Structures are given as structure tokens and as C-alpha cells.
Amino acid sequence: MPQRQQCPFCQLLENPEQTFIVHETEKFRAWLDVNPRARGHTVVVPKEHVESYDELGEDFLEMFDVARIAGEKAKSGLGAEGYSIVFNDGEVAGQRISHVYMLVFPRFEGEENEGTPAGAVFRPEELEKSDLEEIHGKMEDASFEDFSKEVKTVYEKAKEGNNTDGERSQEEEKSSQENSNFDSSKRADFV
Ligand SMILES: [Zn+2]
């Protein structure tokens, strides 16, 4: 795994003039991929050198939202009809840089891949019910990093609107308004 000094994303983060920034928050930046595989293909990265999604903790939510915003901007700015958000955890999954990132692929009508889901790289498998039962048994109670407590706290904070630290506070208030009809416990399940 490359160190921070050799990390291409960290280098680009330090030289923003080398990137076409689409959106930015305190902790994340989204810019156009220089080797795009779609019009408006965007990469979202944390400004800190973070090597795994687990290390992001509750910030994962903010990262996901920055990706969503990039997709929405492709819809309103480029006329995309939709978008796919992809992230790959681990080299085996295709993570090519050890600084976590999400990819946003705007989707357009009339393109060759129209209607093909991003997960289409996986071929259907023939499985018996007993296979699914075995897999389920191994996954259902398997361990994982649980950030749900912190996530809930973030939404409770936003609802209370009692943050006082400038830009961040405005963002959270906005987020609170946007999510005022949203059940935060369901949101945590969704993530
Ligand atoms: Zn880095």
C-alpha cells in the first residue's frame, strides 16, 4: 500500500488547480475523473488520507451525500437521466488506490449501456436454497463495525440545530431541513 506521500489522491488534494472540482465539503472533495468512462464521471474522496471505509466511521454518510450531489449535478447540468454510485472496498474488489473513493457515473438515455446496472459485472449464480441458508447463517450474526450510534447522534444534532460553528452548522441545518420528513433510523438501515 503506498504511503501518503506517494498517494495520487493526496497529491491532487494538495494541488486543486489540477482538478475540475464538482463539489466540496469540509471533509470531502469531488472532481471529474481525468480518464472518464462516462460524461461527468466523478470521483469523491475524503480530504484526509483514509485507506478503508471502516476508518471513515460516520463520515461515510457525508461521503455518500457528496456522491449523490455530484449525480444530481450531472442530472441538472448535463441532462443525465440517472446515475450509478460505485465504491470498491479492497484490491480484490477493484480498489486501485489505497485512499478510499466513490465513483459517480452519470447515466444517459440512448447510450450503449443504458439500463445496465453497475452490478452487471457479476454473473448470476445457480444456488440451492440450502446454499443460501448456509451463507445466511454465516453472515447474519457476523461481526461488523457499528457506526449506527454515531449516525443517530449526527441526525439528532442536526434536528436540534444547535451547532454554532459557521459553515458546517449551515450545512447541517440545511441537511436537517431536507431530512425533516425522513425517519433517521430508516436512513441508518439504508446505509
Ligand atoms: Zn491519500
pLDDT tens for each residue of 109-151: 999 999 999 999 898 888 999 999 999 999 999 988 787 766 6
- In the chain, the number of structural domains is 2
Given strand 42-46, what is the order of strands in its sheet?
21-24, 28-32, 42-46, 102-107, 82-86
Is the pLDDT confidence value at 39 over 70? yes
Which grid cell is 125? Answer: 449464480
Residue where a domain terminates, one of 109, 134, 165:
109
CA 50 to centroid of ligand 1, rounded, Å: 7
Taking only the tens place, the pLDDT of each residue in 157-173 is 677 775 555 444 454 45
| 135 lies in the same domain as 82 | no
**Which residues line ion ligand 1, judged by CB < 5 Å?**
7, 9-10, 49, 99
Tell me, what's the pLDDT at 14?
96
CA 56 to centroid of ligand 1, rounded, Å: 13
- Residue 168 CB: number of other CB atoms within 10 A? 13
Those residues whose C-beta lies under 8 Å from the C-beta of residue 41, and which sit 6 or more positions away, are 32, 33, 103, 104, 105, 106
For residue 121, the 8-state DSSP code is G
0.85 exceeded by pTM: no
CA pair distance 83, 165, nearest whole angstrom:
33
Distances (CA, A) of 1 to 56, 67, 90, 163: 18, 25, 11, 38
CA 12 to centroid of ligand 1, rounded, Å: 9
Q: Where are the beta strands (DSSP E) in the chain?
A: 21-24, 28-32, 42-46, 82-86, 102-107
| 86 lies in the same domain as 152 | no
| 16 lies in the same domain as 69 | yes
